[in-house]
Amino acid sequence: MTAMAATEPVSDQLARMSAQIDEISAELRCQRQEKEKWQELAHTLVPVTRDAFDVASRELGDLADDVTVDDAVRFLRTAARSLPKLEAMLVTLDSLAELIEEVTSISGAGVAKVSEVLAEAERTGWFSAARGVRQLAEAVVAEYCEDDAAAAIAAAPRVVALLRALADERVLTLVGQLLVPLAADAPEAPPSLLALAGQVRDPATRRGLGRALQVVRQLGFRP
């Protein structure tokens, strides 16, 4: 190596040495820049850190009468022991948040469906009918007093029994048969007594007259 260095031209040696010096200078400049950056950061953080320590000192000074070092240590130990529970609680909160999000999406669809149903009810006239029923109820309330309401409540069982009787198929059939002749046009000439006597011989006519007489008797009249 010494022989090779001896045979190397002086200019090449000087060039190599100059390149090495440039590399060392660049490395030193980089180190100096990094050092300056750290110094600037330290210069910036020192006031902040000092203020933080001052605030902490004041707060700890205010808490000195209520909280001791033993209390702080005991709290840290309790918090360390409770870490699994805290983790499980956080998992539960995440699940609860997902559930709330799911319920919110479902409730949004439900509200849209309810709005659609209400719009359909408004279109078909359900709300108009409800307003009419309300007006009828208000008129009834304004017309009748408390005694009338008590009397209506007392008569309600008999009214229900009457409605149950009217709902019987035989009663409905009889009412229908009675309404058909009443709705028909009356004959121009009244029937003669002989024609009426002939109709009385009909068993159905006699049964009808018997029922009619029972109704009249119930009304308090005597034929």
In the 3-class helix/strand/coil scheme, how is 68-105 assigned residue by residue?
CHHHHHHHHHHHHHCHHHHHHHHHHHHHHHHHHHHHHH
What's the confidence (pLDDT) of residue 71? 75
Beta strands in 16-160 (DSSP E): none
Give the model confidence (pLDDT) of 50-103 as tens digits: 777 677 677 666 666 666 777 777 877 887 888 888 888 878 887 777 777 776
What's the confidence (pLDDT) of residue 3? 47
What is this structure's pTM? Answer: 0.28
pLDDT of residue 29 exceeding 80, the answer is yes
Both tokens assigned to 97: 């948040």
pLDDT of residue 24 exceeding 80, the answer is yes
pLDDT of residue 37 exceeding 70, the answer is yes
**To the nearest whole number, what is the mean pLDDT of the chain?**
75
Both tokens assigned to 35: 């050092």
What's the confidence (pLDDT) of residue 106? 67
**Share above pLDDT 70 across residues of the chain, in percent, rounded to a whole number:** 80
Give the model confidence (pLDDT) of 132-162 as tens digits: 888 888 887 777 777 777 887 888 888 888 8
